[in-house]
């Protein structure tokens, strides 16, 4: 059995634990043989903050401690490989490591694996600066989607504000096993406390393009304020990924080399948020990939593999209902806008223009809309109805095409068929006046609901024919 570290080594280990793992001291886990206990100093009582004396107890194996993140930022991510069967756990851990190296370009030396103490593994990546939880979760989802189906177990995200993770090198209090680090190629235990001293954080930009401009001290200060106010305000808003998806859709192809996998997953989530059918999402992704010059891919990357991966990642995004962007974000509708909607013609055209108005507010003044999505928006199964409604709105000056019927030469050449880029639109509605009335609306409100919030019956009847008024409006409360 390896010797316990001496006094000097202990001090270095405590410093390393603090540097790599510990972000909040007010909330932590304590493992007992029969249960875990969560200690939260902010809840009062006699609880004390997590400190180096507890790390002494942890390394001695008398008690085992675990940590949470601060709520908004993580200094590291743990992939918690949790399986009932040790063989399956080993297989899953090795597959995950292979995916991190091959698909996500993580250096082997930056992947740190430890025994969970039972039948699983903890696979850690440490970052050189704090990264928002939303960014790390997005990365986690991409990785798990790439790993694929797992028999008899799961890989979970750790740590979060509600789910902690045990610190390594302690004793699992139920099994009595020491949670050693292991070789990340063979998973053989490295029975040395000194392993941790050689761990160095990796460049955070490898998993996120965003530059958050926060030092670790600033992030910790932010965490302290946030956890004292409302930790549930940490709503996932993958705005950086949304902006990347927009740039790619605008270009109609990949804009950076060796980004096929991350782009495929981001677009799968985006198309899910836009209401695409899975088959349409796969087709749209393949349109972008086949339009991309081949030098943007690795030499052995083939379209057949792109299609297989697109189908798998789209299926995962839809099964987990992962969405990207502002699909459920409330938007502000002004009275002049709803009056323009009311004045545009038949009810299906009103529905169409209102749907395009909401879309423009969520995804930008210039946006694209597929026929399939538009059909869902206005509750029709007829493609002709949608196409005619849009054509009439353009003809009457409510909407303009920003791109229509543009042939994608690269994609057409690649597929051997004439292919066009998706149509893009922009609304031509009146400018908003200062002080103009408005309402905040969600996906639950229809054009009728919103009009009734902003207009009286007399105003509505000015734009609505009697038959439409009687069938669509009167029962909603317009009199």
Greater confidence (394 vs 224) lies with 394
Q: Residue 216's pLDDT is what?
A: 55
Q: Residue 402's pLDDT is what?
A: 83
Residue 143 has pLDDT above 80, yes or no: yes
Task: Please write down the long-range contacts of 216-223, taking CB distance under 8 Å and 24 or more positions apart.
Answer: 216/75, 216/129, 216/130, 219/70, 219/72, 219/73, 219/129, 219/130, 220/23, 220/70, 220/130, 222/72, 222/73, 223/23, 223/24, 223/70, 223/71, 223/72, 223/73
Q: Residue 229's pLDDT is what?
A: 34
Which residues, 6+ apart, have CB-to-CB distance to 306 below 8 Å?
260, 264, 286, 289
Identify the helix (H) or strand (E) that includes residue 391. helix 383-395
Q: Residue 393's pLDDT is what?
A: 94
Q: Residue 45's pLDDT is what?
A: 61
- Helices 335-342 and 447-454 pack at an angle, to 10 degrees, of 130
Residue 65 has pLDDT above 70, yes or no: yes
The pLDDT tens digits of the residues spanning 184-214 come to: 999 999 999 999 999 999 988 887 754 444 5
Summary mean pLDDT of the chain? 81
> How far is Cα 421 from Cα 351, in angstroms, rounded to an integer?
25
Stretch 81-98: mean pLDDT, rounded? 92
The pLDDT tens digits of the residues spanning 250-264 come to: 677 887 777 788 788
Residue 240 has pLDDT above 60, yes or no: no
The pTM assigned to this predicted structure is 0.54
Residue 248 has pLDDT above 90, yes or no: no
Stretch 370-379: mean pLDDT, rounded? 76
**51 Ramachandran zone, left/alpha/beta (phi>0; psi -120 to 50):** beta
Residue 327 has pLDDT above 70, yes or no: no
Closest CA to 65 of 167, 157, 164, 158: 167
**CB–CB of 64/136 below 8 Å?**
no
Stretch 399-413: mean pLDDT, rounded? 73
Which residues, 6+ apart, have CB-to-CB distance to 144 below 8 Å?
155, 316
> How far is Cα 66 from Cα 71, in angstroms, rounded to an integer?
15
Helices (H), 209-346: 216-228, 239-251, 260-273, 278-290, 303-319, 335-342
Stretch 352-373: mean pLDDT, rounded? 80
Q: Residue 24's pLDDT is what?
A: 82
Q: Please confirm whether the linkage preceding 159 is cis (ω < 30° from 0).
A: yes
Query: 7-206 in CATH: which number?
Result: 3.90.920.20
Stretch 329-336: mean pLDDT, rounded? 87
The token duo for 41 is 């100093």
> How far is Cα 367 from Cα 374, in angstroms, rounded to an integer?
13
Query: 331-476 in CATH: which number?
Result: 1.10.10
Q: Residue ranges of the domains in the chain? A: 7-206, 239-319, 331-476
Q: Residue 479's pLDDT is what?
A: 45
- Give the pLDDT band of residue 328 (cuts 50, 70, 90): low
């Amino acid at each position: 059995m390896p010797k316990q570290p001496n006094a000097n080594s202990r001090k270095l280990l405590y410093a390393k634990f603090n540097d790599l793992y510990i972000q909040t001291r007010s909330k932590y886990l304590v493992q007992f043989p029969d249960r875990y206990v969560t200690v939260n100093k902010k809840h009062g009582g006699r609880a004390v903050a997590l400190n180096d004396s507890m790390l002494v107890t942890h390394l001695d194996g008398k008690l085992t401690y675990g940590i949470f993140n601060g709520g908004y930022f993580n200094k590291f991510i743990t992939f918690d490989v949790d399986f009932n069967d040790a063989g399956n756990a080993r297989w899953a851990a090795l597959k995950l490591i292979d995916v991190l190296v091959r698909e996500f370009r993580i250096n082997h030396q930056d992947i740190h694996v430890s025994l969970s103490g039972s039948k699983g593994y903890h696979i850690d990546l440490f970052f050189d600066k704090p990264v928002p939880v939303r960014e790390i979760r997005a990365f986690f989802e991409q990785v798990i989607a790439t790993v694929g189906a797992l028999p008899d177990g799961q890989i979970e995200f750790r740590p979060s504000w509600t789910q902690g993770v045990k610190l390594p090198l302690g004793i699992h209090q139920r099994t009595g096993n020491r949670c050693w680090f292991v070789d990340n190629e063979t998973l053989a235990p490295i029975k040395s406390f000194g392993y941790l001293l050689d761990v160095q954080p990796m460049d955070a930009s490898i998993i996120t393009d965003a530059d958050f401009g926060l030092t670790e001290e600033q992030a910790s200060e932010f965490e302290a304020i946030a956890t004292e106010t409302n930790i549930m305000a940490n709503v996932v808003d993958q705005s950086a990924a949304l902006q990347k998806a927009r740039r790619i859709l605008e270009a109609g192809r990949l804009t950076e080399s060796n980004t096929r996998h991350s782009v495929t997953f981001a677009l799968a989530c985006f198309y899910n948020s836009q209401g695409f059918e899975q088959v349409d999402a796969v087709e749209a992704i393949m349109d972008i990939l086949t339009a991309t010059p081949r030098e943007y891919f690795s030499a052995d990357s083939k379209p057949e593999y792109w299609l297989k991966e697109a189908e798998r990642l789209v299926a995962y995004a839809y099964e987990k209902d992962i969405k990207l962007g502002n699909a459920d974000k409330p938007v502000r509708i002004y009275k002049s806008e709803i009056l323009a909607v009311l004045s545009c013609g038949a009810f299906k055209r009103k529905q169409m223009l209102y749907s395009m108005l909401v879309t423009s507010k969520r995804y930008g003044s210039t946006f694209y809309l597929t026929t399939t999505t538009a059909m869902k928006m206005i509750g029709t199964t007829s493609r002709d109805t949608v196409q005619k409604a849009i054509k009439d709105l353009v003809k009457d000056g409510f909407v303009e095409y920003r791109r229509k019927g543009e042939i994608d030469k690269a994609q057409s050449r690649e597929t051997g068929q004439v292919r066009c880029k998706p149509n893009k639109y922009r609304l031509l509605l009146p400018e908003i006046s200062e002080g103009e009335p408005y309402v905040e609306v969600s996906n639950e409100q229809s054009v009728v609901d919103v009009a009734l919030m902003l207009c009286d019956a007399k105003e509505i009847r000015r734009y609505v024919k009697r038959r439409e008024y009687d069938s669509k409006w009167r029962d909603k409360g317009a009199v």
